Amino acid sequence: MKRNIFRIIATSFFAFLVAVPVIAQRDRSVSTAAQTYVISAKAGGVNYVEGNVTIERGDGKSGYLLKQDNLEIGDKVATGAFGKAEILLNPGSYVRLAANSEFEFVTTALDDLKLKLNRGSAMFEVYAANKFQVEVNAGNTKFYLIETGVYRVDVTNDSAKIEVWDGKARVGDANATIVKDGREATLSGSAVAVAKFDRGEKDALEIWSKTRGKEVAKLNSRLERNSLRSTLMNSYRANSWNLNNSFGLWIYDASFRGYCFLPFGHGWYSPYGYYLGWNLWNIRMPWWIYYVPPVGNGNGPVAGNGNGNGNGNGNGNGNGTSSDNGNGTSSDNGNLPTRNPKPPFQQMPGGGTRTPKLEPTIVDSPGFPTRQPSVPVPTVVVPHPAKSGKGN
């Protein structure tokens, strides 16, 4: 009798050991299948909050700042003695506030991004180049972040300082001073003093900023292609984004409760130098995404023959992109639609892939795909775990 009881217990225990991995694997599969994303091309999302951080809205309302809040122009964010906050700028760029600091947006446009650091310290991890510069109003002066890189700005009652950890900055408008990487510029009154600083000496803000830079870049490699592709298509058809309004997109991953950057270009690195394995190219979007943005009903561009009787929204018999008088305006005489003008991501020097001084390596960014694109394969392949549901 005792022997039978022992056999039953042993058999049950063995069955339990076998079942646990199966259940765990099934739960992981369900989690992957149910993975949800939110797409945004706007600045102002709050990606991280720690300690006491408050917000004063432009309409006079105030309260505590929370993760996933959204900032508008004129909203002031202030950190307490132990507060920190990470705020999304235009996709791919971040501002990270130290304790006892105050920050606000002046404008949020891709080609006219203006911020204001009223007091305290902040790290800026930004994509910038040519006309896509970032203006930081600091006290009585202006710092222009004119190259992709990492910057620190400090503001006190009587002075302002910028440290260029990587990139290039300009101080002021008239008789501007250029500050290259490894140098700092301090303004006291109207005097500008430029000197070298030791990038090997990092304080708590600088260490935290780089740690966050690594963490948010890592989220990019965890994106799941099929779920993301479906979400991207839905938001594209809703005219939420196109290649002309950004360098890429903010992707909110509900499973990790945070945003990461999905670049439009292939082979991009973060300003800190971390490789971004997923991009719009290897998500395998339809070929027409790379051409004229959707018009009318948002179902994608359609080539016409130029002789149709359009109804003004591209849905006429001529299948063209029509004018209001019904005379369709065709593109390429029934062939491919006209390409977008050179989009912002292709206007970045090196396509956003220049060799960072904080972390190494470089690859090139391709041009537009053909009608039936062979999707470019990254030079550096980021391995994905087996059975993760991610693409190669």
The answer to whether residues 119 and 102 touch, using CB atoms and an 8 Å cutoff, is yes
pLDDT category of residue 38 using cuts at 50, 70 and 90: very high
Residue with tokens 């062939």: 335
Q: How far apart are CA 205 and CA 269, in angstroms?
A: 22
- Dihedrals φ, ψ of 266, to 5°? -95, 135
* pLDDT of residue 112 exceeding 60: yes
What average pLDDT does range 206-221 have in this prediction?
96
What average pLDDT does range 148-156 have in this prediction?
96
Amino acid letter, 46:
V
Q: Is 199 exposed, middle or buried (0-12, 13-18, 19+ CB in 10 A)?
A: middle
* pLDDT tens digits, one per residue of 167-186: 999 998 867 899 999 999 99
pLDDT at position 340: 58
Q: How far apart are CA 147 and CA 162, in angstroms?
A: 14
pLDDT category of residue 34 using cuts at 50, 70 and 90: very low
* pLDDT of residue 75 exceeding 90: yes
- Dihedrals φ, ψ of 199, to 5°? -75, -10
Q: How many CB atoms lie within 10 A of CB 303?
A: 20
* pLDDT of residue 194 exceeding 70: yes
pLDDT at position 4: 54
Residue 186 has, within 13 A of its CA and on its CB side, a CA count of: 8
pLDDT at position 290: 78
What average pLDDT does range 65-94 have in this prediction?
96
**Beta strands 112-126 and 134-138, pairing class:** parallel
Residue 273 has, within 13 A of its CA and on its CB side, a CA count of: 13
Q: How far apart are CA 122 and CA 79, in angstroms?
A: 11
pLDDT at position 18: 41
Of residues 91 and 299, more confidence is placed in 91
* pLDDT of residue 305 exceeding 70: no
The percent of residues above 90 in pLDDT, for the chain, comes to: 53
Name residues whose C-beta falls within 8 Å of residue 174's C-beta, 6 or more positions apart in sequence: none
Mean pLDDT of the chain: 77
* pLDDT of residue 377 exceeding 70: no
What average pLDDT does range 192-219 have in this prediction?
95
pLDDT category of residue 318 using cuts at 50, 70 and 90: very low
pLDDT at position 163: 98
* pLDDT of residue 367 exceeding 50: no
What average pLDDT does range 33-53 have in this prediction?
89
What average pLDDT does range 139-162 have in this prediction?
94
pLDDT category of residue 337 using cuts at 50, 70 and 90: low
The percent of residues above 70 in pLDDT, for the chain, comes to: 68
pTM of the model: 0.74
Q: Which residues pair with 53 in a beta bridge?
A: 79
pLDDT at position 16: 46
Of residues 338 and 364, more confidence is placed in 338
Closest of 359, 380, 353 to residue 274, by C-alpha: 359
